[in-house]
A and B are shown apart, each in its own frame.
Chain A
Amino acid sequence: MNTSTETKEATLLHTGLRKKEKAGNLKRAWPLHLMVLPAILLVIVFSYVPMAGAVIAFQDYKPWNGFIHSKWVGLEHFRTMFEFPDIRQVIWNTLIIASMKIICLLIVPILFSLLLNEVRSIVFKRTVQTMVYLPHFLSWVILSGVLIDVMSDKGLVNQIIAFFGFQSVFFFGDGNWFRVMLVVSAVWKEFGFSTIIFLAALSGINPSLYEAAEVDGANRWKQTLHITLPAIVPIISVVATLSLGGILNGDFDQVFNLYNSLVYDKGDILDTYVYRTGLVGTKYSFGAAVGMFKSVVSLVLILITYRLAYKFANYRIF
């Protein structure tokens, strides 16, 4: 009896204090709310409203009818999507192109950073880094202008090929070559920038490990195998896992600026397909459905890979 009234009193006192605290908090915190406001408003308008607007994937959206008066068609667009052989090809293209890029952009930067790690001269190392990071900052518009020029049928590369007596190659006109070109040019643009994270991991290895190995008579190759590689395996697995979330992302900027109607069958990816049929062909609802398919699958993949990265490498994104 006695104790219960006591606790009651204590709780009352406590809530009173909490209320006071809350009021004080609000008074002190309102400028903070005000500070977040512009960013929150922009994000709501330009990110959340389009998410809600994606309902047109379940409608037969006509611009003059708006969201409210357009006819609801349920899952029809999704059904057409999976019955359409075009889309299966596009999904397949996206998967192949994206996964080849992911694999190459994992292996090449790792090898390159291992090689760069063997360099003693700091000046040389810095110079190489400066040069290989640069392409990352140039846009695909600029790079494709150059690439198409250099790789054209009478361009620099084909002249070299002709010099050695081989048949000239139609790099951007043949579907299979086009895929190879996508992967090679993506690797060329991004491998340097991707080494940053591995170089950081390499520089964090304790030097005394190498000294001990040397005393034990291990040569540099053995040291790489038994010290360097194991030390960067965690960061490699994190990068590999996280990159799986982009398996449906073929890089719109690159493909759109390099492709042409000759290579649609092997080079068309989901994003370029959505742009062409949805936006240019004004099939808004169908395009939105394809886009939503991509977003949802990507979201699921990202959540799974974040979970995996946390579970196995103890890496937290948030």
Chain B
Amino acid sequence: MLYRSPAYRIFTWLNYCFLTLTAIVCLLPLIHVLSVSLSGKAAASANLVGLLPVDFTTMSYKATVNNMHFTKALLISVERTVIGTFISMLFIALGGYALSKDERAFRGRTVYVWIFLFTTLFGGGMIPSYILVKSLGLMNSIWALILPGAVAVYNMILLMNFFRSVPKELEEAALIDGAGHFRTLFSIYLPISLPAIATLALFTMVGHWNSWFDGMIYMTNPDKIPLATYLQQTIVQQDLSNSNVDLTQVKNNYSGQTIRAAQIFIGALPIILVYPFLQKYFVKGIVIGAVKE
């Protein structure tokens, strides 16, 4: 009854309007970039483009795809994302499985857990890590982008908790049938925790795709930088360092806003494509991770 009071009805209408507006505001920048990337050069550099393309053209996408540096960086990003996600998931699954056993079955488990957890509380910092990678000889190697962050401790703990919810009877049955731990993990645990694995894999992929700082400090050879670093260097730094204009920058300015917008949009596209799959699971994953046992 009280829900039908006039005041509450007015509130409901305002609420719906407000929520719709806020949600749209979250998408505006992406829509703007997309429309700039599909607009004519003149209209874009005169800032005439709002949320719809002006003088529709796909020129900027053609130019971007034909840009050697861009495609090279794109390939490196794909490479690091594929290899990095595979290695990360493999190590996390192995570690998460072992740590999901209790102390009686796996003496030393608690020590291992603390070794992992401490790294989430404290770190050596940017400079010692840089010196380490440099002295390991990993500069300009794709492994510098993959190995340092391969063991994501939060993901491993999440997976550990997930494995713990698997009924004990399954493992016992496998043991009786003569399966070892590796066999049990790969033929029983992994198949039944596929949704959890897929979620973590998607998160890891997004992380790799978006990661730019490691590419900036570890890759001194411009031919080896991943796409995120390439975008950071051409899009962000160009805007800010107007004072020391050099030839390449003049060229960049000439090629203009539409190409930059196209590059930004291509950079964001994989995330947008993966997002619907991500969204299906991450809410659950976060809530499970936050409210434990």
A313 on interface, CB distance cutoff 8 Å: no
Residues of B within 8 A of A123 (CB): none
Q: Is B98 an interface residue (CB 8 A)?
A: yes
- Asked whether, in the complex, the Cβ of B181 is within 8 Å of the Cβ of A188, the reply is no
Interface of A is mostly: helix
Smallest CB gap from B51: residue in A: A156
Q: A115: which of B18, B119, B128 is its contact (CB, 8 Å)? A: B18
Q: A137 to B26, alpha carbons, bound, how many Å?
A: 12
Cross-chain contact A134 with B16 (CB below 8 angstroms): no
Q: List the B side residues contacting A29 at CB < 8 Å.
A: 105-108
Given contacts A139-B210, A142-B231, A257-B236, whether A47 and B126 have CB atoms under 8 Å apart is no
- The reply on B194 being an interface residue by CB < 8 A is no
Query: In the bound complex, how far is the Cα of B184 from the Cα of A157, in angstroms?
Result: 58
Which stretch (A37-45, A81-89, A93-101) binds chain B?
A: A37-45
> Does residue B260 face the partner (Cβ distance < 8 Å to A)?
yes
Convert B147-178 into 0s and 1s, putting 1 for each residue whose CB lies closer than 8 angstroms to a CB of A: 11111010010000000000000000000000
CB–CB A257/B29 < 8 A = no
- Inter-chain contact B287/A295, CB cutoff 8 Å: no
A6 at the interface (CB under 8 A from B): no
Among B65-73, B89-97, B246-254, the stretch in contact with A: B89-97
Which of A68-121 touch B at CB < 8 Å? 112, 115-116, 118-119
In the bound complex, residues from chain A placing their C-beta under 8 Å from that of B245 are none
CB contact under 8 A between A116 and B19, given known A42-B150, A46-B148: yes
The distance from the CB of A311 to the nearest CB of chain B, in whole angstroms, is 18
B213 to chain A, nearest CB (A): 7
B127 CB contact (under 8 Å) in A128, A196, A278, A318: A278
0 or 1 for each of A302-318: is its CB under 8 Å from B? (1 = yes):
11000000000000101
Question: Quick one: closest A residue to B271, CB to CB?
Answer: A137
Those of A114-154 within 8 Å (CB) of chain B = 115-116, 118-119, 124, 127-128, 130-135, 137-139, 141-150, 152, 154
CA distance A43 to B212 in the complex (A): 21
Which residue numbers of A lie inside 8 Å of B, CB to CB?
22, 25-26, 28-29, 31-33, 35-36, 38-40, 42-54, 56, 61, 63, 112, 115-116, 118-119, 124, 127-128, 130-135, 137-139, 141-150, 152, 154-156, 159, 188, 192, 196-197, 200, 214, 217-220, 252-253, 256-257, 259-261, 271, 274-275, 278-279, 284, 287-288, 291-292, 294-295, 299, 302-303, 316, 318
Contacts of B181 in A (CB 8 A): 31-32, 35
**B251-293 at interface with A (beta carbon < 8 Å):** 257, 260-261, 264, 267-268, 271-272, 275, 278-279, 282-283, 286-287, 290-292
Which residues of chain B are near A150, meaning CB under 8 Å? 29, 32
In contact, B125 and A133 (Cβ under 8 angstroms): no
The answer on a CB contact under 8 Å between A274 and B212 is no
Q: Chain A contacts of B16 at CB under 8 A?
A: 119, 124
Interface residues of B in 100-142 (CB under 8 A from A): 101, 105-108, 112, 115-117, 119, 121-132, 134
Are B91 and A39 in contact, with the CB atoms below 8 A?
yes
Contact B239 A291 (CB under 8 A): no
Our pick among B3, B5, B97, B125 for the contact of A50 (Cβ within 8 Å) is: B125
- A124, chain B: closest CB distance, angstroms: 7
In the complex, chain A residues whose CB is within 8 Å of the CB of B132:
45-46, 49-50, 53
A148 near B236 with CB under 8 A, answer yes
Question: Closest 7 A-B residue pairs measured CB to CB?
Answer: A50-B124, A291-B125, A53-B128, A139-B210, A39-B95, A131-B23, A50-B128
The residue from A38, A61, A115, A279 contacting B94, defined by CB atoms under 8 A apart:
A38
Report whether A142 and B278 are in contact in the complex, using a CB–CB cutoff of 8 Å: no
Confirm or deny: B198 has a beta carbon within 8 angstroms of a beta carbon on chain A. Answer: no
Query: In whole angstroms, what is the CA distance A47 to B149 when docked?
Result: 9
